[in-house]
Structure formats: C-alpha cells, structure tokens
C-alpha cells in the first residue's frame, strides 16, 4: 500500500499529496491500532493466531501445617499469617505483643494444595509450563504426586516444564520449609568461615541468619519493624500452554543520538520456543507514526531478539520528566510477530523517552568528584525519601494502598524515592504509578546491612533473581539507577562486625564477587541505559578506584552519604555533612494516638509502658526522642496520664519534623556553593517515607496513610521555590532555593514578631536578587543584632523572624520562619484559645480556625477519618485561618467536626 501511494502521489498537486498522505496514515494507524493493541489473548476462532492459554491458579487453596493439626482455606496470592487471620484462628498479628505470640507460625512448615482441571481443548497444546511469579520462599512443588522442582528465592520467577505431566484433573502441592529453620541450616553448613551478622540486636526481637536466605531481609525484623518471616504463594501462579512459542519478557529502552537529534527504541523480546520459527516482527508506535518490520528467527529453547526502532523524525517526541520538571509522557508500543507458517502473536507495552546520566566529574574549588543526575540533559536535584515494604504481609498491599502512599509523596513535591535494599522489589503497580506521577526510583537490589555467602548455589540463585528483576523492571522510566546493596560497603570499610584484620580480605573478596562480578555484570549486560552503583552509601567512581570498597564511604567529597545523629543538637547545621548527595538521614517519632489505639489496650497508653518499650526496636530510641526534643521544647506536663501520653506522641512528631526540616534545608541551600571544599549537594532523600506497622519509626507517613507532621513540612521544604535561613556567626542569611526551569528576580520580605503579639513589629523587603533556575542563591544577609535593633524592644527570646519570597510584589512559594531562640526559652509566648468550625465545600471540607495568640506547630487531627489537610503543623500568626481537608473516605461535616482535635505547642504546658 505504501508503494502504491508513493507511485500514485507523483501525479498529484502538492496540497492533494499532503491531504492524502495524512488520511492514509490515519487509516493505517487506526487499522494497526485495532490489530496490534488489543488483548494478547486471541479467540480460537481467529485462524493462525498463536494463543498462549493461561490457567490462573489464584484463588482458594487448602493450607495445612506439618503435623496436620491445622487445615484451612487460604487465598492465593497470600501468606500463612493472612490465612490464619482470615479464618479467625489468630488475632491481628500487629495487635500488642502478637509478633512474639505468633512466632510459632514461622517456625512450622506449611503446605498449600489444590485441584485444577484442564479442558480437552487445552490438553491438545504441545507445551505446558507452571509459572510461579513469587514463592515465599523455600519450597518443593509437586503435581499429581511428582516433584517438579524446588525454590529458594522469593524474588525469582520460577518456570517448570510440566509437559506430559498434566491430566484432565490434577493436584498441585507447594510444600514450604520454615524460612527461619532453612536460614539456620544454611548458616550452620557454611563452616569455612562465619558470615556476620548471626542475629539482629536483641531489641529488634527478631530471627537469625537472614543473610543466608533470599527473602525480604526485614521480615526477620528491623529497627522499625516486626519479625514476621512469612511463608506462602505471595504472587501469581499459573499454567501456561502453547504450541509454537510464547513471549516471556517484552522490554523497551529509549536511545537518544544527540549528533542527529534522533530518538530510537531498543525493543527486546524474550521467547520460550517449542519449535523453531522464522518470520517477521513488526513494531509500531501509532502516536509517533512510527513502524518498522524486522526479520527474526526463533531457535528452540529460551530465545532473545533485539530490535532498534528509529522514531519518525518528523514527529515531535515529548520526553518523560520527573515530578515538577515537566510532563510524564508515555506512548503505546505494539508488537506483532508473524511466522512463515502464518502464525501471529500480538502484544503491547508502554515506552517513555528520557535519558539519565550520573555525573561524577571534578568540582571547581573542591577535591573529589561531583555526584548528581541529569535527566534529559538537565541537572535535577533529587528530593524525596526512602521506601520500605508497606506491610509485613504483602497481600494487604493493594493498588489503592500504593496509590495513596505514592500520591502523598508527589503531593509533598517529592520527585524521588529510594527502594531500600532490605525489603522487596515492588509489585508492577508500584512502578506504573511512579511512571505516571514522575517519581524517580533509586532501585536497590535486596541486600542490606550484612555480609553474604558466595558459594555457587547462592550466587546462582542471585543471578537468576537479578536477571528476572532487571528484565521485569527496566522498561519503567521512573527507575533511574540500580544500586547493589544498602550499606554493605560501609559495613566492611568501617568494620561493623568486628572482623579480625587477618580475615577482612575474605569479605572484601566476597563483596566484589557478589556485587561486581555478578550483579554488576548482569546489569551491564541487561541494561546499559542506567548507571549502576555497587552500594549506598558509596564514593562512586572513587570507590571503584579503591577496589570497590573505599577507605571512607561516607566521604562528603564523593558519592552519597547516610548520616544519623540523635543526641547532638539537630538545630546546629554545622553538624551535618556538606555532602554531594544525602541519601539517608532522619529522626524517629511516634505515630498518632488514633493509629496506635487500633493495636493497643488502655494499659499500654503510657510512654513508660511495656507496650511502648516493646514496640521500640531501636536501642534507646524512646529516650533519644525525648532528649532531642528537650533541647528546644518543654516536655509535656499534663497531670492526666492519657493526655500526657498523647502530648508526648505529639511532641515527638514536632521534634522529628523540625529536625528533618533543618537538615533538609541545609542540603537544599548547599546545592550551589562550596564551603571548605565541600558542597554542591544535589539530593536529599530523608529516611523514611512509609511504615510497615504501627510503631515508632523515622517515617513521615504512618501505617494506614496518615501524614505525620514531617510530611506536611516536606510539602513546604520540597516546594519548587522556597526561602531557607541559617545563622552563621550571629549573621542571618536567607537563601532563595529554586527548582524552577527559569530565572526569576526575587526579593525577601521579612517580618519580625514579638511572641506576645500577632502584629509584626517590623516589616522589610530586600532589593531584588536574580535567582537562576535550579540554584540556591543568597538573597539576604544581615547581623541579627542589627535586625533586632530596628525592632523596638525585641530580643532573641522575645521575638521571631518570618520571611517569604516575592516576585513583582506577589508571594512566590511558601513562607518560612527562623527561631532566634528555643521555643522553651521564648518570652511572651502565650497559651492560645484555639477553636474551629467545619464547612463542606463539594467533596472537600473547610476548617475555619481561630486563635487569640501566636500558635507554633498548630496540629489538626481528624482521628480515624482518613484524609489529609491542605497544611498542618504550621505557625499560626493570624487570628483567623482557613485550612482545607481532603477526605479519602466518605464523611460528613458533623463527623469531621466531632473527630477534629486541635493541638499546638503551648497545649502541652
């Protein structure tokens, strides 16, 4: 048709040629869309269509323990704990002390079984595979009494050839071995040398030898979560039947050639081939009027074919951008495979066009190397947090749960999450949502805070894990980097495990074997489009030069750093590392009372209760929170025990929010400067975004989705443009931090208040300062003494400073504040009379606040009504203020008014 059109067009005027070309293209595209972008399953009524029949085995199975004393129905996907809970055989595992009460579940061996039938039509297929997307973790699988395979890795997809084994009626059994017992056995069998750590710290109340099993490391406990070493079929399980071949992976990688301004897409098709096939592969992106056909030969067995699809240069390509930087454009790509015998197979996927580069190069005025990301050639400051598993029981992590958490990250102006290496590779919906929202992913492989064995069986299963995960995930534009592990370079370099000097080389060799010679090798073979780091924190290229383990992986002149300091004053910015990239830092807090109330009893509602102590898995964590809070705030003094407990929970959130704010703002303003050879910080990912259960942690979102005060603060300190302040040698400096894509001329408007008055005693607007796109620019500088000298009777203790940025007389970005002294030393700060009324505005609710005095850290709590406020934890300087509440579940004005509780810092006195 294309040749016919070209011949015919020679006879027509230019205008008619253009008209016909467009109409023909439209018809071709419409037809091919119908043909290529439909379901990959095709009705048997269509001749010569290759059909991969899928019999899904999800649903109800029979579950029993080793001695047969328990037999019950269990949902698949799912786990043993969830099945026991659903059948009423156990309470909520998160309730009170049940993590200890239910240890027996993980120590037993459990077997899943069910029957399934194959129709006579299906049994005519030539090839049958049992495909297990996720088995947790150590199991033996049998069909009709015949053992077909074993598993030892919850992160792998296992495929077993069951051709010739299936009948009309079949029985499948998946017999699991206790992960705790297996890990202990593997450790005991490793007799040549120890592979530490043996067990987690006692305060974590966990299980031992997590590093000897390829399972979520935090399922054996962590310092923010419980020990629930689950067993079960945690992802899909199915029988796939076909005749000629089937498509097992379909990946896309955008490729940009700047020399000719040309985008292409590298498409990889992975097949399981029953019989050799010769034919053609057609690739099509209708939106870009791009199509090409390639010859292909598929050899029997596992086959991999790679094609490069050049994009029509006459069509503008919209790139994928991170949140806040532009649109998240995606395109449908259709695939049709047609064999010489006339068989066809169709599939579709999404492709996004973006490039990523990790820049490590010399920095003017500083030793070391830079460490920052360019997306589509543009330097981007990575701002966000770290992601942990959203539940110990993954069957409870629904797409709605993921959507709410990830939307909350985007709503707080985040553009990055680091998927931490002690959890899981997340489900497909997680990455789909991140693609949609523009949340970049720093993807760890699942190794954390431990040394690992390197015998051949362990390396083999890890290699299969990594190959599968890279192929499954590489098409997502949101993933911008692969990282080999969490903190294991640092663990060796700084000798976390007290290894004798004579034996340290053993572990260094193991490290290189696992992360460099295997994981890195696979990543570079499977995905050349993203950078790879062996660890986090790391010195990056400098670590490579030092044999992959740097002498000091926390060196702020290179790479990324993790930094925690709980007892030193978090308001002292000079204590923070002026690093190139801050990938972990943070402070603990407790969740709200409404969250804890669901899994506790009245006798637990005290900061000194056994429950409070039990739930804290970080050594001295409860004490550290109060010590840090007491540096700047008066501790709760209510004589009522329950109110005292609630006030203490609230104060830990105030402390956490303020501490992380101080540290994050330090990193934000360090992006454009070098001080004492350090600086050019280009990333701030605090620890951590979400919770795995209801307990104290570093999170900014509680289990269940409720925002802590920190998350509301993040909404401000990650804003596209904001002012941040610091004092240096009694001089007040205010920076304008901009993530905008254009230069702006900004002035700083400063207001000074006395704590005992809601009217500012001094207002000042600075001269305009040119603030370049993507920079932090000093916009105001003045000694505090001179500023206060213009404010009447102001002293450090009696006054505070607020400030915002203005462009052409209009405010740009959020306002901010600077305390001239600790609030506990403030003079004139009064206990306010806070009140509120609630009105409905469509699907939202307006909370009208009133106060008679300046109110720091005003907190609105809707109790069990799921939703979030427009802003929260704020400094209220006006008598009246309106805040919008966005409910996530249906509610009413009366319900919200009844549940609403108001707190501020002075409520604690």
Active centre residues (catalytic): 487, 584
Please give the C-alpha separations between residue 864 and each of 485, 595, 640, in angstroms, as whole numbers: 38, 8, 23
Contact 493, 537 (CB under 8 A): no
Over 582-600, what HEC string results? EEEECCCECCCHHHHHCCC
Structural element, H or E, at residue 489: helix 488-493
What distance, in Å, lies between the first and last C-alpha atoms of the chain? 83
Give percent helix, percent strand, percent coil of the chain, each to the nearest 5.
25, 35, 40
Say how far apart CA 204 and CA 202 lie, in whole Å. 5
Question: What is the CB neighbour count within 10 angstroms for residue 348?
Answer: 17
What b/e readout covers 629-660, taking b as 16+ CB neighbours within 10 angstroms?
Answer: bebbbbebeeeeeeebbbbbbbbbbbbbbbbb
Say how far apart CA 689 and CA 718 lie, in whole Å. 14
Transcribe 592-658 into DSSP letters: -HHHHHTT--GGG-STTSHHHHHH--STTHHHHHHHHHHTTSPPP--SSHHHHHHHHHHHHHHHHHH
3-class secondary-structure state, position 42: coil
Comparing C-alpha atoms, which of 408, 564, 448, 529 is closest to residue 214?
448
Enumerate the H helices of 352-454 as residue ranges. Answer: 399-411, 428-437
- Write phi, then psi, for 382 (nearest 5 degrees): -85, 120
3-class secondary-structure state, position 543: helix
- Alpha carbon 650 to chain centroid, angstroms: 26
**For the CA atoms of 618, 623, 624, 625, what is the dihedral angle to 10 degrees?**
100
Say how far apart CA 587 and CA 566 lie, in whole Å. 7
Contact 239, 128 (CB under 8 A): yes
Residue 798 contacts by C-beta under 8 Å, 6 or more apart in sequence? Answer: 754, 755, 756, 826, 827, 828
The 8-class DSSP code of residue 334 comes to E
The arrangement of strands across the sheet holding 561-563 comes to 532-533, 479-483, 440-444, 416-419, 382-387, 683-686, 582-585, 561-563
User: In the structure, how many helices (H) and strands (E) does the chain have?
Assistant: 20, 49
Say how far apart CA 663 and CA 660 lie, in whole Å. 5
Pull the structure tokens for residue 132: 């297990």
Over 711-748, what HEC string results? HHHHHHHCCCEEEEEEEECCEEEEEEEECCCCCEEEEE
* The pairing of beta strand 855-861 with beta strand 874-876: antiparallel
Q: 732 has which bridge partners?
A: 727, 782
Please give the C-alpha separations between residue 735 and each of 32, 725, 731, 747, in angstroms, as whole numbers: 54, 6, 13, 11
Transcribe 174-238 into DSSP letters: EEEEPHHHHHHHHHHH--SS--S-SS--GGG---S-GGGSBS-GGGG-BTTB------EE-S-EE
Classify the phi-psi angles of 48: left when phi > 0, otherwise alpha if psi is within -120 to 50, otherwise beta: left
Say how far apart CA 649 and CA 592 lie, in whole Å. 6
Q: 363 has which bridge partners?
A: 366
């Amino acid at each position: 048709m294309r040749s016919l059109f070209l011949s015919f067009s020679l006879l027509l005027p230019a205008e008619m040629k253009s008209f016909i070309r467009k109409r023909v293209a439209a018809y071709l595209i419409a037809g091919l869309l119908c043909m290529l972008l439909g379901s990959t399953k095709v009705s048997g009524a269509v001749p010569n269509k290759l059909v991969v029949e899928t019999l899904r085995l999800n649903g109800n199975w029979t579950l029993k323990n080793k001695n047969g004393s328990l037999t019950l129905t269990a949902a698949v996907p799912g786990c043993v704990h969830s099945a026991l809970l659903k059948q009423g055989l156990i309470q909520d595992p998160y309730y009170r002390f049940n993590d200890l009460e239910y240890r027996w579940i993980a120590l037993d061996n459990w077997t899943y079984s069910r029957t399934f039938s194959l129709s006579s039509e299906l049994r005519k297929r030539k090839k049958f595979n049992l495909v297990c997307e996720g088995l947790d973790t150590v199991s033996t699988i049998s069909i009709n009494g015949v053992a077909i395979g074993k598993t030892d890795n919850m992160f792998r997809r296992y495929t077993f050839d069951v051709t010739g084994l299936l009948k009309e009626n079949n029985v499948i059994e998946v017999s699991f071995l206790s992960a705790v017992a297996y890990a202990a056995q593997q450790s005991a069998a490793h007799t040549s040398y120890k592979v530490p750590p043996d067990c987690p710290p006692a305060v974590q109340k966990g299980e031992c030898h997590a590093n000897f099993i390829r399972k979520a490391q935090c399922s054996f406990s962590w310092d923010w979560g419980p020990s629930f070493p689950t067993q079960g079929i945690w992802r899909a399980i199915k029988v796939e039947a076909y005749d000629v071949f089937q498509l097992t992976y379909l990946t896309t990688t955008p490729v940009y050639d700047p020399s000719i301004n040309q985008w292409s897409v590298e498409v990889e098709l992975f097949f399981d081939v029953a019989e050799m096939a010769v034919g053609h592969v057609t690739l099509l992106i209708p939106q870009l009027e791009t199509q090409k056909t390639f010859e292909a030969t598929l050899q029997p067995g596992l086959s991999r074919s790679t094609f490069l699809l050049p994009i029509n240069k006459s069509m503008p390509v919209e790139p994928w951008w991170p949140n806040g930087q532009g649109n998240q454009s995606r395109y449908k790509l259709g695939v049709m495979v047609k064999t010489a015998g006339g068989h066809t197979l169709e599939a579709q996927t999404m492709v996004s066009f973006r490039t990523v580069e990790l820049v490590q190069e010399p920095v003017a005025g500083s030793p070391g190397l830079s460490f920052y990301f360019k997306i589509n050639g543009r330097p981007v400051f990575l701002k966000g947090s770290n992601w942990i598993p959203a539940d110990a029981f993954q069957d409870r992590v629904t797409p709605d749960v993921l959507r709410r958490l990830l939307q909350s990250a985007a709503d707080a102006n985040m553009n990055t999450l680091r998927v931490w290496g002690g959890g899981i590779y997340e489900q497909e919906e997680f990455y789909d949502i991140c693609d949609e929202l523009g949340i970049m992913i720093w993807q760890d492989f699942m190794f954390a805070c431990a040394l690992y064995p390197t015998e051949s069986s362990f390396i083999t299963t890890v290699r299969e894990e990594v190959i599968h995960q890279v192929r499954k995930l590489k098409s997502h534009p949101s993933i911008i980097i692969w990282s080999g592990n969490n903190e294991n370079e640092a663990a060796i370099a700084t000798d976390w495990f007290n290894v004798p000097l004579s034996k340290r080389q053993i572990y260094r060799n193991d490290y290189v074997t696992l992360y460099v010679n295997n994981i890195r090798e696979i990543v570079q073979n499977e995905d050349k489009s993203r950078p790879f780091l062996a660890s986090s924190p790391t010195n990056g290229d400098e670590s490579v030069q030092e044999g992959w383990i740097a002498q000091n992986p926390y060196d702020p002149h290179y790479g990324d750093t993790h930094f925690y300091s709980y007892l030193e004053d978090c308001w002292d910015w000079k204590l923070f590392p002026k690093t190139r990239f801050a990938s972990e830092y943070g402070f603990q807090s407790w969740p709200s009372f409404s969250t804890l109330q669901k899994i506790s009893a009245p006798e637990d509602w005290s900061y000194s209760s056994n429950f409070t102590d039990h739930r804290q898995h970080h050594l001295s964590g409860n004490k550290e929170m109060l010590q840090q809070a007491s540096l700047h705030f008066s501790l709760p003094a209510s004589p009522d025990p329950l109110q005292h407990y609630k006030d203490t929970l609230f104060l830990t959130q105030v402390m956490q929010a303020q501490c992380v704010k101080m540290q994050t703002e330090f990193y934000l303003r360090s992006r454009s400067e070098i001080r004492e050879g350090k600086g050019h910080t280009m990333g701030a990912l605090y620890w951590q975004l979400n919770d795995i259960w209801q307990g104290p942690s570093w999170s900014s979102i509680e289990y269940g989705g409720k925002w802590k005060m920190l998350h509301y603060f993040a909404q401000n300190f990650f804003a596209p443009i904001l002012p941040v302040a610091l004092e240096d040698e009694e001089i007040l400096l205010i920076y304008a931090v901009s993530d905008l894509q254009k230069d702006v001329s900004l002035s700083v408007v400063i207001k000074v208040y006395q704590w005992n008055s809601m009217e500012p005693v001094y207002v000042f607007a600075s001269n305009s300062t040119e603030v370049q796109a993507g920079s932090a620019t000093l916009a105001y500088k003045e000694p505090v003494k001179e500023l206060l000298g213009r404010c009447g009777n102001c002293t450090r203790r009696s006054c505070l400073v607020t400030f915002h940025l203005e462009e052409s007389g209009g405010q740009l970005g959020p306002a901010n504040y600077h305390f001239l002294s600790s609030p506990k030393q403030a003079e004139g700060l009064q206990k306010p009379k806070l009140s509120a009324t609630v009105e409905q505005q469509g699907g939202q609710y307006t909370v009208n606040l009133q106060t008679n005095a300046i109110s720091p850290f005003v907190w609105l709590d809707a109790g069990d009504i799921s939703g979030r406020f427009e802003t929260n934890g704020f400094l209220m300087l006006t008598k009246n203020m309106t805040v919008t509440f966005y409910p996530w579940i249906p509610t009413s004005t009366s319900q919200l008014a009844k549940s609403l509780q108001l707190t501020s810092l002075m409520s604690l006195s």
